[in-house]
Every structure is written in structure tokens, then in C-alpha cells.
Amino acid sequence: MILKMPLIFLFVLISTFANAQQTISVKGSQPYNATQDYTFICEKYVLSGEINVQIAKTDKGGILKLSILTANDKTKISGGVYVDLANADVIACVDKNVKEDAEGRTTAYYYFTPAEMNKLKKTDIYAIRFIVASTSSVFGNQTNYFTAYNKKAYFSTAYDTSKKSFDTAKEISVL
């Protein structure tokens, strides 16, 4: 009996942390259940080489949150975004100009329809194509078209048999 009590306490503690749900709140709106914050590799974006991606489920579909490190507050993720799926399907997201800036990062939000969320539940994201633009007249940030790939690390060996990308479809289907 003495041994069972610490084990039960440990089980409750672990299950509490395992079920911690991520959320997204767009400019003060209600929080929506979201996936973990993925770090996709963007090799050509010299400033950081990565972009943070998070997806939330809403009543009207879903939200895509993209966040990237910038050199100044005049640099934004702008224009449309293309979400390439592993089955070669593409979801085009229109820029609704919902953006935030904080702590040297710019964040842009894009919206998915219910049909697009169903596609995301069935197939992993392969890559996300986006544009970084700036109105600054001084040099300080790279602006261009970029592609961020669903990869966990820059490098791996041929002997590494672990999965090298995030299971986005699995997490989105749980939302």
C-alpha cells in the first residue's frame, strides 16, 4: 500500500502534463485549441533559418499561425501563403492582413475552411511557401519568397531511421 500511493501520484502528475493543450488567440479573441508549435526548416532565410508554425481548430475551420524572427518591426510576412501537403495537394491561403509584432518576431495568421482542415487531418504538411516583405529603407532584413520544409533538423545521417518530419495530420485530427 505504501508503494502504491507514490505510483498513483506519479501517474496523475504525468497524465496532467501529457494532456497540456496548446492554444492560439488572434488579437484578443477567444483561445482556440492548437497543435504544438512546430519549427520548420527554412534554409534560405538567413536571419534564423526557421519559421514557427502552429495550427488551431475553430468553429468555422482553422487558423494557421506563422511566426518568424525579423531584424526590424517594418518587416512582415505578407501576401498569400501556400501550404504544400505530402500528397502533392496545395492549399492557398489569402492574406487577410492579420498580423502581430512582438519581441523581434512578426506573426501572421491565415484561415482555413472546414474542407481544408479535413485535408490537413488526412495528410501531413510537406512545406509552406511564404513571402517576407519590408518597408524599411535601410538594410537589415532579407526579403523574398521562401519555402519552409517540415523537417525536424537540418542534418541527419543515412543510418538514422527515425521519422525526420512532424506528424502534423495526426495532431490536427486530434483537435
Task: Give the domain range for residue 96.
Answer: 26-174
> Does any domain span residue 92?
yes
Query: Which cell goes with 70?
Result: 525579423
Please report the DSSP string for 62-77 in residue order: EEEEEEEE-SSTTEEE
Q: In this predicted model, what pLDDT tens digit does every residue of 7-41 receive, in sequence order?
A: 444 444 344 344 456 888 787 778 999 999 999 99
> Does any domain span residue 3?
no
Question: What is the average per-residue pLDDT within 150-162?
Answer: 76
Beta-carbon contacts of 19 under 8 Å, excluding residues fewer than 6 positions away, are none
Question: pTM for the full model?
Answer: 0.81
**pLDDT tier, 140 (very low <50, low <70, confident <90, very high otherwise):** low
| Category of 143 on φ-ψ map: left (φ > 0), alpha (ψ -120 to 50) or beta | beta
Under 8 Å between Cβ of 62 and 169: no
Q: In this predicted model, what pLDDT tens digit does every residue of 101-131 receive, in sequence order?
A: 888 899 999 999 999 999 999 999 999 999 9
User: Which one is predicted more confidently, 150 or 46?
Assistant: 150
Beta-carbon contacts of 86 under 8 Å, excluding residues fewer than 6 positions away, are 123, 124, 125, 126
Q: In this predicted model, what pLDDT tens digit does every residue of 67-105 receive, in sequence order?
A: 999 888 888 999 999 999 999 999 999 988 899 988 889
Question: With 60 as the cut, is the pLDDT of residue 65 above it?
Answer: yes
pLDDT for residue 12:
41
Question: With 50 as the cut, is the pLDDT of residue 47 above it?
Answer: yes
pLDDT for residue 46:
76
pLDDT for residue 139:
63
Residue 56, strand partner residues: 34, 63
**Residue 173 main-chain phi, psi, to 5 deg:** -70, -25
> Does any domain span residue 11?
no
Distance CA 54, CA 46 (A): 21
> Does any domain span residue 16?
no
> Does any domain span residue 19?
no
CATH label of the domain that carries residue 112: 2.60.40
Number of domains comprising the chain: 1
